[in-house]
Structure 1
Amino acid sequence: MGEDLAVGDDLTVGRVADLVGVSVRTLHHWDSIALVPPSGRSWAGYRLYDAQDIARIHRVLVYRELGLALAEIGRILDDPTVDPREHLQRQRTLLRERIRRLERTAHAVDEMIERTAMTDEKTINLTPEEQSRIFGTDWDPAYQEEARERWGSTDAWKQSVARTGSWDAARWQQLKAENDALEQALADALAQGVEPGSEEAHALAERHRAAIGQHYDCSRSRQVVLARMYTEDPRFAAHYDQLAPGLAAWLRRAIEENARAHGVDPETATWE
């Protein structure tokens, strides 16, 4: 981190941002939601952070790296029944679990690379087992078959097949990492009270649309149709609400308000 903070030293928000590797804006936000409020203020009113504040920031960073929403992190850190040592032990356990998952994923990617070298094939079709290794144990191969039955005759499906046909396991893993980051950003926005219709929510809706656009052209009208499933299909709702309670409904509203801002009526939006 580049700097040691002794007990009794206080740092300004700018110094802390440089020390821990986050933006000043992030620290201001964490203060506003009482996640990491600074312990003191200077005579001029500037935020001052002490060693305990820095330790709390590091705990937040670890939990965020593990995929927890900010609201959940706050509840964990403020639990009066858990002491700092228990927090560290819990983080160590969660980190070890994540390391094991990443090692399994890396092994799966290595297998795909080796197979490519052995067969000299330009494209790789992932088996259901490989999909589960890369995308997680909640991946159900039946999802792909269901999608084929519902949309196999559409231009979007054909476009998706053409675009993804040459993707190897490493590309799919990259896509999953990008999607995980997007979902974390969505959960954080909900926890931070970002309102659908705001500029920040619009940006996230466009980021969501761009993610879909890697597979097939996704207009805002199509995105609205997809968003309806997020609350109407229990599987989609469960997926998003597992990340953060109420996220499915929030994301649908964010997508609908973004579409409305661009001249698309969510009530009458169609796939085409």
Structure 2
Amino acid sequence: MFKINEVAKLVGVSVRTLHHYDEIDLFKPTEISEARYRFYSEEDLVRLQQILFFRELGFTLKEIKKIVQSPSYDQKEALQLQKKMLLEKREQVDNMLETVDKTIRELEGEIKMTQEERFFGFNKEWHKYEEEAKERWGEEVVDESHAKLEKLTINEQKDLANDGDIIFKKLGKLQEKGSEDEAVQLVIKEWYEFLNNNFGTYSLEAFEGLGQLYIMDERFTKNIDKYGNGVAQLMSEAMRVFANNN
């Protein structure tokens, strides 16, 4: 067991921070002595590592709490996601360092930068994985959708599955079209309305994030591509277009 000051020194946070995590029910000690001393187990430290990874990647404490306390939370999946985010972040830092070096060389009269080069590296694409984490573990819409499904009869659930199947089949017939095609966008609108009518309230941002999951998570891709090779990619791109246009 580890005392609170030992944990603080080990991970590089203040004792006050650990007290705060305890107060908001984010990270609590395994044991509190009669003298009110906090003691943490090795399992507690594994949990703290996860929290600090998410904190470092820009998640709020409220978001982290939703994620790590979700019934569907999986430590290995979380680490794989954090690795993706860190690799993307490292690439972004490398790109920005390259931009800084070029800017210095331009100021010294060695080169002339294009406008694209001047802003290379500022695109924080790694934040797309934040949406994946929220969608997978933290979004209230997930709980809401489960609650709605539980109220349906078996026949109603079958009807719902059939309605979704029809939409996928429509997209399967349009897989040669582009994501901005009018017919594709009409079906994507159907899909957006289908999700909002049956699985909770999806913002346009969450809808776009869900589309990213369709190509980032092989389980989604495999299931959707049963309706035609490339349908998952088409849906993902079309959902992004729909969100941006609306």
- TM-score normalized with structure 2 length: 0.46
Bigger radius of gyration among the two = 2
- TM-score normalized with structure 1 length: 0.42
The structure with more helix, counted as a fraction of residues: 2
